[in-house]
Amino acid sequence: MVAWAALPLAVLATGCGGGTASDALGDASDTRHTGPDKGAARSGDLRVEEAWIPEPAMPEMSVAYLTIANDSTEDDALVDASTSASPDTDLCSTVTTDSGASQMRVVEEIPVPAGGSTQLKSGGFHLMVNDIPDPVGVGDTVTLTLSFVSGTEVEVEAPVLERTAGNTEERDAGGDHSGHH
C-alpha cells in the first residue's frame, strides 16, 4: 500500500499528455445502475455500463471508468467526453513502451467495435477529469456526456465510489494516475 501512495506525485508530473508512470493506474433518460452502485445508460445501439469515478486521491483531478457496448453492425468510436465536474475532460490511453514503462497519452478517439465492447479501465483507455473546481467525494454523482463518431450522444450518471469499488487492477491504481495538463 505504501508503494502506490507515492504514485500521485509521480503521475502529476507526467499526466496524460506524455511522460511515464508505473502501470498503476436508449437516451439519457434511460439511466439505471448496474452492479451495486455503478451507472448505466443507452442511446440507440450504444450502451454504457459500469460507469464510475474512483474517489480522487487529489481533489482537482480524477478518472472515469466504464464499458461501452455497440449493438450496431457498424464500428463506432468515442470522440468527445464532458463531465458535470469539470470543463476539462480528456480521452486517454495508457500504453507500455519498449522499456516496459507505462505512458499515458491523450487520444483523438476510443474505438468501439461493431457487435463488441470497449472497457475504459485502469491501464488502458480511460477518461481524465482535470481541473475539478469543486472537489467530488464518495456519494457524489457526476454526469458524463459521451459523443460518438456516429452522432450518438449518451449521458450517464457516474457515482463517485471508494477506490476499492473496482477490481484488483483498479484498486491498485486507485485512480491516482490523474494528470494535470
Q: Please report whether residue 181 resides in a domain.
A: no
Q: Please report whether residue 112 resides in a domain.
A: yes
Check which CATH number belongs to the domain holding 114 and give it: 2.60.40.1890
Q: Please report whether residue 180 resides in a domain.
A: no
Q: Please report whether residue 135 resides in a domain.
A: yes
CA distances from 49 to 11, 33, 42 (A): 27, 8, 9
Domain that holds residue 113: 2-173
Q: Please report whether residue 33 resides in a domain.
A: yes
Digit-by-digit pLDDT tens for the chain (181 residues) are 333 333 333 333 335 644 333 222 322 333 333 445 899 999 999 999 999 999 998 999 999 999 999 999 999 999 999 999 999 999 999 988 889 898 999 999 999 999 999 999 999 999 999 999 999 999 999 999 999 999 999 999 999 999 887 654 433 333 444 344 4
> What's the CA gap between 128 and 56, in Å, rounded?
11
Q: Please report whether residue 178 resides in a domain.
A: no
Give the total number of structural domains in the chain: 1
